[in-house]
Amino acid sequence: MTEPAHRIVALDIVDGVARITMNHGQVNALGHELRRALSDALERLAGDPAVAGVLLLGQPQAFSAGADITEFNMPESGGAEMNSGPAGPDLRELVALVEDFPKPITAGITGVALGGGLELAMAAHARIASPTARLGLPEITLGLLPGAGGTGRLPRLVGPERALDMILTGKQVSAYDALTDGLVDALIEDPGSAEAVHWAAEYAATRAPLRTRDRTGSIAGAAAAPGTVSRLAADALRKAKDPYAAHAAIKAVSAGIEQSFDHGAVVEREKFEERVKSPESAAQRHLFTAERAARKPADLDPDAARTVRRAGVIGAGTMGGGITMALAAAGITVTVVEAERSALDRGLAQIEKNLAVSVSRGSRTQDDADALKSLITGSLDYADLAGADLVIEAAFEDLQVKQDIFATLDRHVGPECVLASNTSYLSIDMIAAGTVLPGRVLGMHFFSPANVMPLVEVVRGAATNAATLATGFTTARRIGKTPVVVRVCHGFVGNRMLEVRSFQAEQLLLEGALPGQVDAVLKDFGFRMGPFEMGDMAGLDIGWRNRKAEGRTAPTADALCEAGRFGQKTGRGYYAYDGRERRDDPEVEQLIRDVSRNLGIIRREISDHEILERLLFPMINEGARILAEGIAERAGDIDVIWAKGYNWPAYRGGPMWYASHTGIGYVADRLRFYAEQTADVTLLPAGFLAEDDVAVAAAPGLPG
Ligand code: CAA
């Protein structure tokens, strides 16, 4: 018998097992239509004597990706996707319906079971999964905690330690790990197959429905020793990207273990409703949407992309090595070309060392590392790039050097090969101008360490053609990066805005602040590091050399370098170092005071509030210029760049989101104030910030 109960849920009965197959949208998001359809189907099956058990299925790509995130943004809902009403049962009610169902329900997981999707599966009485399935509770990455009983049920299935790890990191686990941990009961290639139906029928015939909430074996130890949950969570809490959501989740898990499932459910609901309305979660949901929008840049035709099987990397330094590892990790054969044998050997040895570290940390198996290494070859000869589909240049940051390299590449690679530069500031148009086929040139600006940091600014030059853009973009996606398309200007989007911030940081020192105060303000805001700590880590001599070459100065930074203080590598920079341990250095304070005096600046007390605004608002202003010039397509693209490339705290949504949230009118007023205070006309509001109705305007593409 096959009988569609609802267009988004198919229902058939085989050997006494009712198969309910969810088929809604791309990922079976549990919006009200799907919830209603599932509850209708269950209601019909409850009293059907022909049905002994139920097998709940999804689609190959997704059992379900959880609650429908778009419903959280509905103004009247306030997270009310959880509330019942005419729209149908809320997710908690649906989950309760499943758990209390009089006949055993087996969830058959294919693709992903995430968030509310996994919570639905955990409410079933048994779970089978295909070996390729992935399971997780990623709510924390949206500034939330599981909201449909996940904080209570997961510890009851896998124990408190594994549960806290999954809930506080949001990471997905493989079907194999899920089986080992007890999150699933069996692996079956196709959970909708006859074999799976047989499994579910056996289960229904031999067992009464066992509710997950009643399983207490794996939490008994923690329940008897209050404080266990807080202890187990301490490390993850320290590392949590959203401490607000992490605290809330720990409270719910702890109540569900140390008191009761029902008490935990009450705490979970309270905390979920608080978090879903919080600015921190709204910011992270904005980033989720912005990241997906950035995957669809205007005029990008993914079908125009060439498949990259073989790649070349020019330069085996830190960036070249990182890019090589990222390409090889995605199965691409890479030839790394260096000018000198010693530099090549050093670069290859560093790659070996990085791989050994990841094996020793358990993030990679030895077999993986060996496979990756076998794809990498070093060479001193451009002729070895003859068969490459893509070459990424990561050489010294000098226009002439890069132009020479591209001219050499022209002579050695085929006409179809795409040529990318990893330059962080230079003009792709000037690099392309000297080549025979400028249409095949683009920028692929990676961030250090390139094998770890997700962002790639894909820089589209004036001549870059559709196939080149598509190849750069899709290759970046294929190697697991987050590409954002930008156009050519000095420093593109990220570094152009960073430069503005660095200038302000230097000004603040001259006017009266000290490095420790400035860094502390940005860390309180949520950055992992302040600008001066970051400078010390990267090495101050690089910027010094660039400034000298370009005839620019930065009085304090220059004075530090003249005193031989290049940062951590010399043990002295803005701070003094014992190993990595840093402390304030009275010598630096004196040096800064001397520089101010020599420039005739009367130092003053500067508030933390002013420091924050002076660092962030000029950046936002530069972002507005970038949008007005069309360098970035959308405000959200700028936010993704800062979140993925510069560790902008996700719960602050990115600079343009932050501006909208703070109030565009307020930001514009303060910029006018600082422009006057510092006699710096570049601080006058620009782009959309300068519009007349700015008090009610929002950054384009963002809510007001
Ligand atoms: N709700 C609404 N839409 C969703 C969604 C969700 N939970 N998950 C994915 N989508 C949408 C995406 O926005 C995208 O839409 P567009 O094509 O219009 O851009 C589409 O589905 C495909 O998604 P991706 O482009 O991300 O595809 P992918 O293959 O790269 O990744 C995925 C698929 C792993 C499911 C990924 O989309 C993902 O991680 N989704 C979010 C999962 C999540 O965070 N779930 C928790 C929700 S909160 C919750 O469930 C609270 C609770 O406890 C009740």
| SS3 annotation, 450-462 | CCCCCEEEEEECC
In the numeric block, which tokens belong to residue 632?
């970035």
Phi first, then psi: what are they for 287, rounded to 5°?
Answer: -65, -35
Examine the residue annotation and report whether 338 is marked as an active-site residue of this protein: no
Band (pLDDT 50/70/90 cuts) for residue 241 is confident
Check if 45 has its Cβ closer than 6 Å to any atom of ligand 1: no
445 vs 495: CA distance, rounded Å: 10
pLDDT at residue 395, rounded to an integer? 94
Residue 1 has pLDDT above 70, yes or no: no
Check if 138 has its Cβ closer than 6 Å to any atom of ligand 1: yes
The answer for residues whose C-beta is within 8 angstroms of residue 616's C-beta and 6 or more apart is 501, 525, 655, 658
Which residue type, as a one-letter code, is found at position 142? Answer: L
In the numeric block, which tokens belong to residue 460?
């589209």
Phi first, then psi: what are they for 625, rounded to 5°?
Answer: -65, -45
Q: According to the 3-state scheme, what is the secondary structure of 166-177?
A: HHHHCCCEEHHH
Check if 293 has its Cβ closer than 6 Å to any atom of ligand 1: no
Chain segment 618-628, per-residue pLDDT in tens? 999 999 999 99
CA distances from 190 to 57, 89, 126, 182, 694 (A): 10, 29, 16, 19, 56
Residue that is written with structure tokens 């997780």 in the block: 136
Examine the residue annotation and report whether 139 is marked as an active-site residue of this protein: yes
Check if 67 has its Cβ closer than 6 Å to any atom of ligand 1: yes
Q: Which of 22, 24, 26, 171 to mutate to test the pocket of ligand 1 (most atoms within 8 A of CB)?
A: 26
Q: Which domains does the chain have, with CATH numbers?
A: 9-277 (3.90.226.10), 308-491 (3.40.50.720), 513-598 (1.10.1040.10), 608-697 (1.10.1040.10)
Q: Which of 71, 99, 139, 268 is catalytic?
A: 139
Residue 702 has pLDDT above 60, yes or no: no
Residue 236 has pLDDT above 80, yes or no: yes
In ligand 1, which atom is closest to the CA atom of 117? 50
Residue 564 has pLDDT above 70, yes or no: yes
Helix (H, G, I), strand (E, B) or coil at 186: strand
Chain segment 439-458, per-residue pLDDT in tens? 999 999 999 889 889 999 99
Of 79-88, 220-229, 295-304, 628-637, least confident by mean pLDDT is: 79-88
Average pLDDT on 545-559 reads: 90
**Runs of H (alpha helix) within 528-654:** 531-538, 540-550, 555-562, 586-598, 608-628, 635-645
pLDDT at residue 239, rounded to an integer? 87
Return the closest-CA partner of residue 669 out of 704, 605, 620: 620
pLDDT at residue 72, rounded to an integer? 85
Mean pLDDT, rounded, of the chain: 93
Chain segment 121-173, per-residue pLDDT in tens? 999 999 999 999 999 999 999 999 999 999 999 999 999 999 999 999 999 99
pLDDT at residue 281, rounded to an integer? 97
Sort 396 into a burial class: Cβ within 10 Å, 0-12 / 13-18 / 19+: exposed
Query: 229, 259 in Cβ contact below 8 A?
Result: no
CA 289 to ligand 1 center in whole angstroms: 9
Residue 81 has pLDDT above 60, yes or no: no
CA 613 to ligand 1 center in whole angstroms: 34
Check if 69 has its Cβ closer than 6 Å to any atom of ligand 1: yes
Q: Whose CA is nearest to atom 25 of ligand 1?
A: 292
Sort 598 into a burial class: Cβ within 10 Å, 0-12 / 13-18 / 19+: exposed
The answer for residues whose C-beta is within 8 angstroms of residue 467's C-beta and 6 or more apart is 304, 305, 306, 418, 440
Average pLDDT on 695-704 reads: 49
Helix (H) or strand (E) holding 65: none
CA 541 to ligand 1 center in whole angstroms: 44
pLDDT at residue 693, rounded to an integer? 59
56 vs 51: CA distance, rounded Å: 13
The number of residues in the chain equals 704
Q: Which of 69, 289, 478 to mutate to test the pocket of ligand 1 (most atoms within 8 A of CB)?
A: 69
Average pLDDT on 83-98 reads: 78
Chain segment 102-122, per-residue pLDDT in tens? 999 999 999 999 999 999 999
In the numeric block, which tokens belong to residue 237?
């809490």
Average pLDDT on 9-32 reads: 95
In the numeric block, which tokens belong to residue 219?
């939490």
Q: Whose CA is nearest to atom 10 of ligand 1?
A: 27
CA 27 to ligand 1 center in whole angstroms: 7
695 vs 243: CA distance, rounded Å: 32
pLDDT at residue 293, rounded to an integer? 96
CA 29 to ligand 1 center in whole angstroms: 7
pLDDT at residue 694, rounded to an integer? 54
Residue 501 has pLDDT above 90, yes or no: yes
The upper half-sphere exposure of residue 499, i.e. CA atoms within 13 Å in the direction of its Cβ, equals 17
Return the closest-CA partner of residue 331 out of 388, 378, 375, 363: 375
Q: Whose CA is nearest to atom 44 of ligand 1?
A: 138
Name the residue with higher pLDDT: 77 or 430. Answer: 430
